[in-house]
Amino acid sequence: MSRLTKEKDAKLEEVKKDLFASLGAIVSHDPQLRKNKAIKILEVGVGTGVNFSHYPNGSHLTVVDPNPHFVKYYNDNRKKFPNIHSQDIIVTTGEEMDQVESNSVDVVVMTLVLCSVGHTDKILQQILRVLVPGGKFYFLEHIREFDSEKYGIRQKLQDFLTETGIWPLLFDGCCLNRDMLSAINEAGFSSVIGERFYAPISNFFFKIIQPQLKGVAEK
Ligand SMILES: C[S@@+](CC[C@H](N)C(=O)[O-])C[C@H]1O[C@@H](n2cnc3c(N)ncnc32)[C@H](O)[C@@H]1O
């Protein structure tokens, strides 16, 4: 993962830049942070910490990831962003992140995580629990091919590689054929703006995760 995420694809970074642009306009629920024009963010499934560069200066960042092997890489990355007040990784799943207080964060960010979680509904309920009323959930996920007429082969390949267990075995439980938009729509957010799109991925092998979903939901 560290090797794969080290070299950032400029076009993919543009997609993220666009998605996260509105973070800068969020006003914190916390009076002290509000005074400093800062916000409180929780990132679920932080991995090596690839999203630091998209967070507004002064952000207070809490992070959760169940894989303890990411701690070293995350700690190396966070050193490069002294403008972000990042905390140590809480080593747990999003489904079990009970240490994070209810109604305590302005924003939850999750990128490329729902493909490998055990219980999508449970994690979405936890996100709703920790967000303040009016708080925002930013998501970016790869999903099952949504144009079966044009890209039916990719859809079949995604199903095959997932159902035979080959892809989950190679990529730490990752499933290629989930469609998360309906789960997010049904979770109980007051609004959801989600867009299916094709991510600008140049590596031929990873074109299988080109169909993606990005958006923002509000509690
Ligand atoms: C493909 S990586 C994505 C990492 C990072 N968010 C990114 O965009 O590069 C998937 C991450 O989700 C984490 N993860 C897997 N299951 C999880 C769960 N149930 N709750 C939270 N994170 C989980 C993994 O440990 C891994 O760090």
Determine which residue's CA is closest to atom 8 belonging to ligand 1: 111
Question: Which atom of ligand 1 is least distant from the CA of 66?
Answer: 25
- Residue 145, φ and ψ in degrees, nearest 5: -50, 130
Taking 3-state DSSP, the helix, strand and coil percentages for the chain, each rounded to the nearest 5, stand at: 40, 25, 35
Residue 110 Cα to ligand 1 midpoint, Å, equals 8
The encoded tokens of residue 193 equal 């703006």
Determine which residue's CA is closest to atom 9 belonging to ligand 1: 50
Domain 2-143+178-218 has CATH 3.50.50.60: no
The encoded tokens of residue 105 equal 């964060």
Residue 160 Cα to ligand 1 midpoint, Å, equals 22
Q: For tokens 């979903």, what's the residue?
A: 213
Q: Is the pLDDT of residue 2 over 70?
A: no
CA 176, CA 178: separation in Å to the nearest integer?
6
The encoded tokens of residue 83 equal 């403008």
CA 147, 152, 155 angle in degrees (round to 5)? 85
**What is the DSSP-derived secondary structure letter of residue 23?**
G
CA 118, CA 217: separation in Å to the nearest integer?
21
Q: Which tens digits make up the pLDDT trace of 27-86?
A: 999 999 999 999 999 999 999 999 999 999 999 999 999 999 999 999 999 999 999 999
Q: Where are the domains of the chain?
A: 2-143+178-218, 145-174
Q: Which tens digits make up the pLDDT trace of 153-206?
A: 999 999 999 999 999 999 989 999 998 999 999 999 999 999 999 999 888 889
Residue 25 Cα to ligand 1 midpoint, Å, equals 27
CB 201 within 8 A of CB 142: no
pLDDT score of 3? 66
Q: How far is CA 106 from CA 43, 145, 180, in A?
A: 11, 32, 22
CA 5, CA 72: separation in Å to the nearest integer?
14
Q: Which tens digits make up the pLDDT trace of 120-148?
A: 999 999 999 999 999 999 999 999 999 99
Burial class (CB in 10 A: 0-12, 13-18, 19+), 64: buried
- Residue 116, ligand 1, Cβ within 6 A: yes
Determine which residue's CA is closest to atom 4 belonging to ligand 1: 47
Q: Which tens digits make up the pLDDT trace of 77-130?
A: 999 999 999 999 999 999 999 999 999 999 999 999 999 999 999 999 999 999
